[in-house]
Amino acid sequence: MASIVLPLASTSPSVVADNRKLVRIGGSCMPNVRGEKRRDFSFKSRSSGRITMAVAVNVSRFEGVTMAPPDPILGVSEAFRADTNDLKLNLGVGAYRTEELQPYVLNVVKKAEKLMLEKGENKEYLPIEGLAAFNKVTAELLLGAGNPVLQQGRVATVQGLSGTGSLRLAAAFIQRYFPDAKALISSPTWGNHKNIFNDARVPWSEYRYYEPKTVGLDFDGMISDIKAAPDGSFVVLHGCAHNPTGIDPTPEQWEKIADVIQEKNHIPFFDVAYQGFASGNLDEDASSVRSFVSRGLEVLIAQSYSKNLGLYAERIGAINVVCSSSDAAARVKSQLKRLARPMYSNPPVHGARIVANVVGDPSLFNEWKEEMELMAGRIKNVRQRLFDSLSQKDKSGKDWSFILRQIGMFSFTGLNKAQSDNMTNKWHVYMTKDGRISLAGLSLAKCEYLADAIIDSYHNVS
């Protein structure tokens, strides 16, 4: 006589039967309204009585949800933390480190926070558009305090959740009010740009930017692709220190890019994540944006203070829309607020107050500029040392000077995926698979080791 075998250890069978032995003669499985699967088994007893045993199997309503792949940038840090090798280097995430490879909190930020504590400011909700003092100083920092567009009230500024949140808010605005428009993004670009436009349901295509043969700018390809795009497209441009390549157009090239955008009636959309952090000079790093605005173009600009003030975790930034009139700016701002309300209601205050205090106080502002120069200078020194080490160690005659022509915290090494994998698997150097390394995570003491890893991967891995 066969005994009953329950299908799952976790099930809770409800059996309607007497104490006689049973034999299973059939079964079926049907879902019920609670998301459970009810397994109905028929049995026959010796006395020919027929009973049913019902087994409720708890099945998640989320069974169809697949596992997401790891983030290509943040996943690098997860792998780095799991590595126990003493030589390991994390050159994946764009976060500034000291020469001892430790996170750095700017002294001027500490002073601003101390002032905030002394004032005893409360934690009430901000308006949807953010802290007024922050919005004022951030637009002035970006465009120049005396810019006519500010004096004429033609800029709609809304505090956002750093650069990412500001870009996402602008993408939602594009989707709602320019539903037929396309975004143009550089090839390559920051990995999150595509995610942002995809999630906002804004169609996008790429324009040529990087030339592998020269490890430089494919300017002719860039111009050609912008010309070929449908009129009225949103052209996403990196204000300075292009991520991931570190390759920027020259001032003359920026003017030609603006010419084509103006001719095609495109709308430039700047992503400014490194103002002051790239060159060490706030005005120089904003020159591309200001040149477009001076032409009378309507422009979108997303800002971030993650890098230049080291406020990574505060998520502080802004979206600015330069309009042709103050009336248009007022209407644009109202709709940005309308979009922000169901997204996150209103932004956080702490980072906004830090920026407002630092930028709005002449003494703190000057101290900030000095610290930015030091941070930018350290990265420049590391860039130079890496170039020197590569040039001295590599006897093949390869020209590594492109490293010095790049700017900002990143260097695009020209290594492919297999070579980047070798950097990690053999040398414990963690980087993104497109060959980008963050020089902000490198120390002068580690440059020779990194040069050995790059030379080995470049020459010995096809």
Residues noted as catalytic: 190, 271, 307
Q: Are 152 and 373 in contact (CB under 8 A)?
A: no
Instruction: Give residue 114's region: left, alpha or beta (phi > 0; psi -120 to 50).
Output: alpha
- H-state helical runs in 318-405: 326-344, 350-360, 362-393, 402-405
Cβ atoms < 10 Å from Cβ of 130: 24
Residues 6+ apart with CB under 8 A from 130: 158, 159, 160, 318, 346, 347, 352
Closest CA to 94 of 403, 417, 371, 310: 310
- Between helix 447-460 and helix 417-425 the angle, nearest 10°, is 130
Token digits for 382?
């590391």
Other C-beta atoms lying within 10 Å of the C-beta of residue 73 = 18
Please give the span between the terminal C-alpha atoms of the chain, in angstroms, as a whole number.
66
Region of residue 70 (phi > 0: left; psi between -120 and 50: alpha; otherwise: beta): beta
How far is CA 140 from its chain centroid? 24
In sequence order, what are the residues at sequence separation of 6 or more whose Cβ sits closer than 8 angstroms to the Cβ of residue 229? Answer: 182, 184, 205, 207, 235, 264, 266
Sequence-distant contacts of 218-222: CB under 8 A, at least 24 apart: 219/249, 219/253, 222/186, 222/257
